[in-house]
Amino acid sequence: MSITRSRISRRTAIVLAVALLAVLVPAEAGAAASTPLSQLQRDADALRDDGVTGVSVRLETPRGVRTARSGVGDLSTTEPVPQNGYVRIGSTTKTFVATVLLQLVGEGRLLLDDTVDQWLPGVVRGHGNDGRRVTLRQLLQHTSGLPDYIGDVVPDLSAAGYRKNRWTTYTSEQRVSFAMQHPPSFMPGSDWEYSNTNYVLIGMVIKAATGHSWEHEVRARILRPLRLTHTVVPGNWPILPDPHARDYQQFEPGGVMTDTTIAYLPFDGDADGAMISTTADTNKFFRALVRGEILASAQLAEMQRTVEVPADYGALPGTRDGLGLDWTPLSCGGGYWGHSGDGFGYLVWPATTSDGRSAVTVSLHSRPGDEGTAGRQIGDVTAFVDHALCSSRGGGTP
């Protein structure tokens, strides 16, 4: 997201969302100096040169599949980023969870205009929050006004704080309870503001409606039918499967890079951002979604019914938010659907054309500690996606 669909609160994200002092590591081995680099590789190298330790990307178009890597997958060994390695997808999890809820709507098991209180009586209460006035649609679209719990589970934004608190686990109910200690940002339906609490509640609603956890429903309804065999719902298991690049977080400007490959369980373990995947599986999911292979046409239309994302959120001009799915304009006309995700040391940015014919997922394996670098890196990512999808449409060479 430039809208970085961060699961980290806005005040925390400003610190997390940015800058690695240029770690000048070699580009992907195999492209000889005398061989002209593809635009895909040049864009991957631009991210490396802007301080990202490791970059991996997969572009799928009607003309085939292209991949690129840059930087290293491990600062200690300088091993390359693995091909199609496992990556944390953070808030991209929200699109999977929203898809399950919309399937339940299509089955007549609940309505988007149901209130939270109809499914979770008394859970959303306190300091002006009232689940009797918040609908499921508002949760999905971040128009609920409910406060974000993330700031409450990051008591010490530092390398020492990460190490001390990363093993702490919370239930969904506890996460919501943290949020209820704060007043709402606005009256439900009157504005837009990203809140991870919304999707923790959606996960709880899925369990109330089906009798099964959101994880069970995602596996049964999406992962198995689509054969996404490299997509994992790990719960509170904090270790990435092999192969994977290591993730690194710079907690302060100019500071050292801290290895954050182990999940930060206080916010890496729920329906707002727990999942692990690969660039190949992520592309496959989003292409199937926008092609109407997972949702009925009525529910896909609801998912793609968008509202404007406020300009002060940092999104690209024209960015709009649907129900767990974002729309971003392309410089060549039209736009793409996706939902990015990030956390300590990682960012993933999937993007799929409206017809589902082309898809690209960019994965970064480090996050910087200053706002300026963060802004540049997000700009690099959005330019990367724009180049890739516009070239695939126009017949150019990505």
Domain definitions of the chain by residue range: 10-394
Angle at 195 between CA 189 and CA 196, to 5 degrees: 135
| Residue 197: C-alpha distances to residues 71, 141, 142, 212, 383 (Å) | 35, 12, 9, 20, 30
Mean pLDDT of 41-61: 96
What pLDDT was estimated at residue 36?
A: 64
Is 313 within 8 Å of 194 (Cβ atoms)?
yes
Which is catalytic among the residues 91, 172, 195, 366? Answer: 91
Q: Within 10 A of 173 (CB to CB), how many other CB atoms are there?
A: 11
Say yes or no to pLDDT of 23 above 90. Answer: no
Is residue 18 within 8 A of residue 372, CB to CB? The reply is yes
pLDDT of 77 higher than 70 = yes
State yes or no: is 91 an active-site residue. Answer: yes
> pLDDT tens digit string along 160-197?
999 999 999 999 999 999 999 999 999 999 999 999 99
Confidence of residue 34 (pLDDT cuts 50, 70, 90): very low
Q: Beta strand 276-277 with 307-308: parallel, antiparallel or unpaired? A: unpaired
Tell me what pLDDT residue 33 has: 39
Q: What's the mean per-residue pLDDT of the chain?
A: 91
pLDDT, residue 147, reads 98
Report the CATH architecture of 10-394.
Answer: 3-Layer(aba) Sandwich (3.40)
Burial of residue 234 (CB within 10 Å: 0-12, 13-18, 19+) is middle
Contacts of residue 171, defined as CB under 8 A and 6 or more positions apart, other chains included, come to none
Task: Quote the CA–CA distance of 247 and 99 in Å, as a whole number.
Answer: 28
Q: Is the pLDDT of residue 18 over 50?
A: no
Tens-place pLDDT, residues 296-337: 999 999 999 999 999 888 788 999 999 999 999 999 999 999
- pLDDT tens-digit map of 332-361: 999 999 999 999 999 999 999 999 999 999
Classify 179 as helix, strand or coil: helix
Question: What is the band of 253 on the pLDDT scale with cuts at 50, 70, 90?
Answer: very high
Mean pLDDT over 30-50 rounds to 76
Helices (H), ranges, the chain: 10-16, 39-49, 93-106, 116-119, 136-141, 159-165, 172-179, 197-210, 214-218, 224-226, 279-290, 297-303, 371-394
Say whether pLDDT at 3 is over 60: no
Average of per-residue pLDDT across 195-215: 98
Q: Is there a contact between 286 and 303 (Cβ–Cβ < 8 Å)?
A: no
* pLDDT score of 163: 97
Is residue 246 over pLDDT 90?
yes
Whether pLDDT at 48 is above 80? yes
Residues above pLDDT 70, as percent of the chain: 89
Phi, psi (5° rounding) for residue 112?
A: -65, -25
What pLDDT score was predicted for residue 2? 33
User: How high is the pLDDT of residue 394?
Assistant: 55
- pLDDT digit string (tens) for 272-305? 999 999 999 999 999 999 999 999 999 999 999 9
pTM for the whole thing? 0.91
pLDDT of residue 22: 32
pLDDT of 19 > 50? The answer is no
Question: Model confidence at 245, in pLDDT bands (50, 70, 90)?
Answer: very high
The structure tokens 């709009």 sit at 320
